[in-house]
């Protein structure tokens, strides 16, 4: 006897067996009970979530000898034929293979004849969005004036490709992606009935890999059973799915929380040695930190929606290493790092740089504590006041009060957007905090001119940095960051200099102007240094309070 794959063996046969699509099942059941059955249905949603299964169940419910009934008997001739796919009055058509107008014309001719022995002639067209425009036009005539014995059920993953004239004549049902918890529960039920021994952790991993598709999850489970037999170890599932060893993930997470840079680099080296891809490893690390955050939030709540008990037991010791604020900040930086990896030509180096940056972050401090320390600092330096308006400042007597400093929070705390008082050294520091490697490469050039709309940077001719900065993708990245930092659109203009000219440019930096001298003097003031240390930020703008002092 031929083997029947799990996705077909455990295909839902009734509306109440549709996993995660309760809203669809309830609506169709009520429509059948009340006799308000539309002539055309459109089932939309991702692959593998039950669209075709729902279409077959609806066909059985309409043609069941005991019906139309919301729960088909499953025993009559019509129900058995539809279950086996041999129904003479139920036509399943693949829209991807029958895209032409002639195929739809044949369907239109067939619609006119009465069903052989069933109540309705039912036409199920899968991937209906693949039909041609002419085919849709031919179908439209049938949908405008359908015979009472004909019903149409369309299924699609791309409803936006269906003409509005067709959509307006169908009842639309949107199928949802299945949550990991529901897929895991269904896999647990199936493996129990199949007498397969597999841990909840492995089932959760399979469900997560399925990305919301029950069919994908069952196909993966079939593959896992073929690999491991009736007793499946967690290591077999991890090896088959290409998932990094859980112990290595926990080791990396613990090293990040302990701010142990050496161990962080060692674990990345292990990932490279086993041949695991860098970006999927970062994604798994993100999932681990998300689980830690949920566990920290729900640690005193029974039946919480956090990680599974087996996983929670492994993660619990790590939650003691950091506060919730640290976990939130680290998770946000990991999400940002994962996005950068997709554009990086050196993903391993980018991952190392990003994780090292996280491992050097100080512990997050409560906002109330910072405010209290700032208040104490104000009392200690005599109570700082906001700077007076420009007219009032002109008449103020000279004093030894330090110039007013506008403090920008650290990069993890500040919102993105245009701000005033920016200069090139500030931009380079900003760039280094986001993309250290790009900052190093740009820093090997020499700033020649900086205007409101243009930054001219000189590089030695035929150098790697010059070629890199002339690449469209690199220029786009730098110009986007220039706009974010300076708050206006700016163009990056790489300039080629001969070796002698480039060396001369390196040693001919202009003397600092009055504004730069003012900034240096203000930042050297002990009170300012103390404030920056407490707030963990950097000086953004220096405003002179004494008359006759040049402003930056």
* Residue-level pLDDT at 155: 92
Question: What is the pLDDT confidence band of residue 96, given thresholds at 50, 70 and 90?
Answer: confident
* Residue-level pLDDT at 42: 93
CA 434, CA 245: separation in Å to the nearest integer? 29
Q: What token pair was written down for 308?
A: 């599974």
Higher-confidence residue: 240 or 245?
Answer: 240
Higher-confidence residue: 300 or 339?
Answer: 339
Q: Which residues pair with 457 in a beta bridge?
A: 447, 494
- What are 310-327's pLDDT values in tens digits? 677 778 888 888 888 888
The percent of residues above 90 in pLDDT, for the chain, comes to 7
- What are 174-191's pLDDT values in tens digits? 999 888 888 988 999 998
Q: Which string of DSSP letters, residue by residue, matches 20-46?
A: T-HHHHHHHHHHHHHT---SEEEEE-S
For residues 520-546, average pLDDT:
66
Which candidate, 239, 228, 311, places its Cα nearest to that of 275? 239
126 three-class SS: strand
Higher-confidence residue: 504 or 57?
Answer: 57
Res 410 pLDDT > 60:
no
Res 469 pLDDT > 50:
yes
* Residue-level pLDDT at 153: 92
- What are 213-228's pLDDT values in tens digits? 899 999 989 888 888 7
CA 16, CA 371: separation in Å to the nearest integer? 56
Weakest-pLDDT range from 263-267, 512-516, 518-522: 512-516
Q: Other C-beta atoms within 10 Å of 141: how many? A: 12
CA 123, CA 15: separation in Å to the nearest integer? 19
Please report how the helices 200-209 and 309-319 are oriented relative to each other, as an axis angle in degrees rounded to 10: 90
CA 473, CA 479: separation in Å to the nearest integer? 10
| Contact partners, residue 424, CB within 8 Å, separation at least 6 | 447, 450, 455
Res 425 pLDDT > 90:
no
Domains of the chain (ranges plus CATH)?
Answer: 6-174 (3.40.50.300), 180-241 (1.10.8.60), 246-359 (1.20.272.10), 371-452+505-540 (no CATH)
Q: Which string of DSSP letters, residue by residue, matches 90-115?
A: EEEEETTT--SHHHHHHHHHHHTSPP
CB 294 within 8 A of CB 307: yes
* Residue-level pLDDT at 134: 84
**Parallel/antiparallel/unpaired status of strands 446-451 and 454-460:** antiparallel
Q: Other C-beta atoms within 10 Å of 57: how many? A: 27
Res 533 pLDDT > 80:
no
For residues 417-436, average pLDDT:
76
* Residue-level pLDDT at 381: 66
* Residue-level pLDDT at 174: 92
Weakest-pLDDT range from 38-42, 228-232, 507-511: 507-511
Q: What token pair was written down for 123?
A: 């036409």
Residue with tokens 């008449």: 395
CB 248 within 8 A of CB 276: no
Q: What token pair was written down for 545?
A: 């309070």
* Residue-level pLDDT at 7: 87
Q: What token pair was written down for 333?
A: 């930086």
Q: What token pair was written down for 521?
A: 């003097």
Average pLDDT over all residues of the chain: 80
* Residue-level pLDDT at 422: 75
* Residue-level pLDDT at 438: 87
Weakest-pLDDT range from 44-53, 75-84, 240-249, 408-417: 408-417
What's phi and psi for 456, nearest 5 deg?
-95, 120
What are the Cα distances from residue 333, in Å, to 2, 264, 492?
A: 51, 15, 27
For residues 85-94, average pLDDT:
83
* Residue-level pLDDT at 400: 42
Q: Which helix (H) or strand (E) holds 448?
A: strand 446-451
Res 202 pLDDT > 80:
yes
CB 518 within 8 A of CB 542: yes
SS3 string, 471-524, reads: CHHHHHHHHHHHHHHHCCCCEEEEEEECHHHHHHHHCCCCCCCHHHHHHHHHHC
Residue with tokens 């920056």: 532
Question: What is the pLDDT confidence band of residue 388, given thresholds at 50, 70 and 90?
Answer: very low
* Residue-level pLDDT at 519: 65
Question: What is the pLDDT confidence band of residue 41, given thresholds at 50, 70 and 90?
Answer: very high
CA 365, CA 360: separation in Å to the nearest integer? 15
Weakest-pLDDT range from 110-119, 294-303, 491-500: 294-303
Res 394 pLDDT > 60:
no
Nearest-5° Cα angle at 390, 385 to 391: 115
* Residue-level pLDDT at 510: 47
Higher-confidence residue: 72 or 365?
Answer: 72
pTM of the predicted model, to two decimals? 0.57
Q: Which residues pair with 94 in a beta bridge?
A: 126
For residues 57-84, average pLDDT:
86
Weakest-pLDDT range from 38-47, 300-309, 383-392, 443-452: 383-392
Long-range Cβ contact pairs of 437-445 (< 8 A, separation 24 or more): 437/346, 437/349, 437/350, 437/353, 438/474, 438/477, 438/478, 441/465, 441/468, 441/469, 442/469, 442/478, 445/469, 445/494
* Residue-level pLDDT at 93: 84
């Amino acid at each position: 006897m031929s083997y029947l794959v799990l996705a077909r063996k455990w295909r839902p046969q009734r509306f109440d067996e549709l996993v995660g699509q309760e809203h669809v099942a309830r609506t169709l059941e009520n429509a059948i009970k009340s006799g308000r059955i539309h002539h055309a249905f459109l089932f939309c949603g991702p692959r593998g979530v039950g669209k075709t299964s729902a279409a077959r169940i609806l066909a059985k419910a309409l043609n069941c000898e005991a019906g139309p009934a919301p729960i088909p008997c499953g025993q009559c001739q019509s129900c058995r034929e539809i279950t086996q796919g041999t129904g003479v009055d139920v036509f399943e058509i693949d829209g991807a293979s029958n895209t032409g107008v002639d195929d739809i014309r044949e369907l239109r001719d067939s619609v006119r004849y009465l069903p052989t022995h069933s109540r309705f002639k039912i036409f199920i067209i899968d991937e209906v969005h693949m039909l041609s425009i002419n085919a849709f036009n031919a179908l439209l005539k049938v949908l405008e004036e359908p015979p009472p014995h004909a019903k149409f059920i369309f299924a699609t993953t791309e409803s936006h490709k269906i003409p509005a004239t067709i959509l307006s004549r169908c009842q639309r049902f949107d199928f949802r992606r299945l949550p990991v918890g529901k897929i895991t529960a269904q896999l647990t039920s199936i493996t129990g009935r199949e007498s397969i021994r597999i841990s909840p952790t492995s089932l959760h991993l399979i469900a997560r890999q399925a990305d919301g598709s029950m069919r994908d999850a069952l196909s993966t489970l079939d593959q896992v059973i073929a690999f491991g037999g009736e007793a499946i170890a967690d290591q077999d599932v991890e090896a088959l799915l290409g998932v990094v060893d859980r112990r290595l993930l926990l080791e990396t997470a613990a090293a990040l929380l302990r701010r142990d840079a050496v161990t962080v680099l060692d674990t990345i080296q292990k990932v490279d040695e086993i041949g695991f891809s860098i970006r999927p490893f970062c994604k798994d690390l993100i999932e681990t930190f998300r689980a830690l955050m949920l566990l920290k939030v729900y640690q005193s709540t029974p039946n919480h929606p956090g990680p599974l008990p087996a996983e929670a037991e492994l993660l619990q010791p790590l939650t003691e290493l950091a506060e919730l604020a640290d976990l939130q900040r680290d998770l946000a930086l990991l999400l940002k790092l994962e996005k950068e990896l997709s554009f990086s030509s050196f993903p391993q180096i980018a991952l190392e740089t990003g994780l090292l940056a996280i491992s050097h972050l100080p512990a997050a401090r409560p906002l109330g504590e910072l405010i209290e320390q700032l208040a104490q600092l104000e009392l200690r330096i005599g109570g700082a006041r906001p700077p007076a308006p420009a007219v009032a400042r002109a008449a103020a007597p000279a004093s030894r009060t330090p110039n007013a400093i506008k403090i920008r929070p650290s990069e993890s705390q500040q919102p993105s957007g245009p701000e005033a008082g920016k200069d090139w050294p500030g931009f380079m520091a900003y760039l280094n905090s986001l993309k250290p490697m790009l900052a190093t490469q740009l820093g090997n050039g020499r700033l020649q001119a900086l205007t409101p709309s243009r930054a001219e940077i000189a590089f030695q001719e035929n150098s790697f940095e010059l070629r890199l900065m002339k690449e469209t993708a690199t220029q786009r990245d730098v110009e986007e960051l220039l706009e974010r930092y300076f708050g206006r659109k700016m163009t990056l203009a790489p300039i080629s200099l001969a070796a002698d000219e480039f060396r001369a440019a390196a040693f001919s930096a202009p003397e600092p102007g009055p504004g730069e001298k003012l900034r240096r003097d203000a930042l050297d003031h002990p009170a300012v240094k103390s404030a920056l240390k407490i707030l963990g930020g950097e000086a953004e703008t220096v405003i002179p309070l004494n008359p006759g002092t040049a402003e930056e």
